[in-house]
Structure 1
């Protein structure tokens, strides 16, 4: 599994939108045959993978973004919410539908990996893209790992542990998964200890005045 090291799968609309990529030719995409559009998007994804291997993260993000823009006009799930605002979505064969979804999943997965390589990581976007992958491919280990890392960084250790535990079941020997799972468990343990300490303070048998004199609240009267 390519987690923090050789991650070669990634995404696009929101995160890449921040990069302001220009996708020349995508405006004429609807005039092309379906297979030509699918092949064009797959080629853009391949180019994005090459940029990623070269550590050219900005260009990789642009290529994934462009691929997703090409595929957007073919995706009935996207276009159904825009009925009447544009041309009808073409009907895809099962093979075309599978290629469309696989390319989308790879692009979103890979964009999440790209964002994790940036100096200032937008974990909310990494989480968003990883969860989108998991909607289409629930057992995707890379998406589970990245969703876990992002969710942990966003402060939800309990949910992060669920993602990372599932990833660990699939890849029990992956050091990166184990490391972040341990981080989630340690954070949950710290939170539990704080909670216990808080309850001990709330339900202690007595309170002390500012002078240090203990007041037994249960036996105190108003005489």
Structure 2
């Protein structure tokens, strides 16, 4: 089983062998099958760029694939119903192929962003959550959502994502490593919270003691 830290290289059969039409403007008047093939080819080329560590080009191909699929995704077009061309009706097989390609592209975009020197963790989280909307048990998306959420400072939510990822991939070292980091961060936060409350309690005790001394002195002054 592939590690959730690695990108998806799922083959899409004949679609992966289709000639590249990169640079061709998507048009919903084109057959759905042609758009699905184009998106699959873009994803395949993105995977090749990723393997060659050409992250920028890989990101471009994945984005291109997603743009092509937007023209046939009813989830996207229903929000702007009445504008532009009507969304074609997809067969169950076409719907599944579209979702699989979207899942792979968003997962792989998150993987690409994590390879950059300056990581946009908010974007990694966004892409991972899009995958989880369609595939709640996707180990790669759970892992990357956990990593991004932890880096953004929410160790509690990160732990939940990573616990779910560990259930899907119990032997994955990266999942275990970040789950341990999340637990350590939560423990540190708990210790800080305890220290803060101890300080507040101690300060309150001192204030009350001081008030008593001052009252005694004021009473003595009057004698």
Q: Give the TM bin, normalised by the shorter chain.
A: 0.7 to 0.9
Where do 1:101-140 residues align within 5 Å? 101-140=99-138
SS of corresponding position for 2:206: strand
Where do 1:156-171 residues align within 5 Å? 156-171=154-169
Shift of 1:218: 7.7
Shift of 1:219: 4.7
Cα distance in 2, alignment partners of residues 136 and 42 from structure 1: 18
Matched, 1:7 2:3: no
Shift of 1:220: 5.8
CA contact (8 A) 1:9 1:111 kept: no
CA contact (8 A) 1:164 1:181 kept: yes
Where do 1:38-57 residues align within 5 Å? 38-57=36-55
CA contact (8 A) 1:8 1:52 kept: no
Unaligned runs of 5+ in 1: 11-22, 209-214
What is the TM-score of this pair, normalised by structure 2?
Answer: 0.86
Q: Which one has a larger percent helix, Structure 1 or Structure 2?
A: 2
Question: Aligned residue for 1:216?
Answer: 209
Deviation digits for residues 101-126 of structure 1 (CA, Å, limit 9, x no counterpart): 11111100110000000110000000
SS of corresponding position for 1:203: helix
CA RMSD, Structure 1 to Structure 2 (Å): 1.9
SS of corresponding position for 1:183: helix
Shift of 1:30: 1.8
What is the TM-score of this pair, normalised by structure 1?
Answer: 0.86
CA contact (8 A) 2:28 2:87 kept: no
Question: Aligned residue for 1:30?
Answer: 28
CA contact (8 A) 1:8 1:113 kept: no
CA contact (8 A) 2:3 2:172 kept: no
Shift of 1:24: 1.5
Deviation digits for residues 46-80 of structure 1 (CA, Å, limit 9, x no counterpart): 11111111111011001001100100010001001
Where do 1:141-180 residues align within 5 Å? 141-180=139-178
4+ residue segments displaced more than 6 Å? none
Where do 1:56-135 residues align within 5 Å? 56-135=54-133
CA contact (8 A) 1:2 1:8 kept: no
CA contact (8 A) 2:9 2:44 kept: no
CA contact (8 A) 1:145 1:167 kept: yes
Deviation digits for residues 78-98 of structure 1 (CA, Å, limit 9, x no counterpart): 001111220000011111111
Instruction: Compare relative contact order (CA 8 Å, sep 6+) and give the higher one, 1 or 2.
Output: 1
Bigger Rg, structure 1 or 2: 2
Unaligned runs of 5+ in 2: 11-21
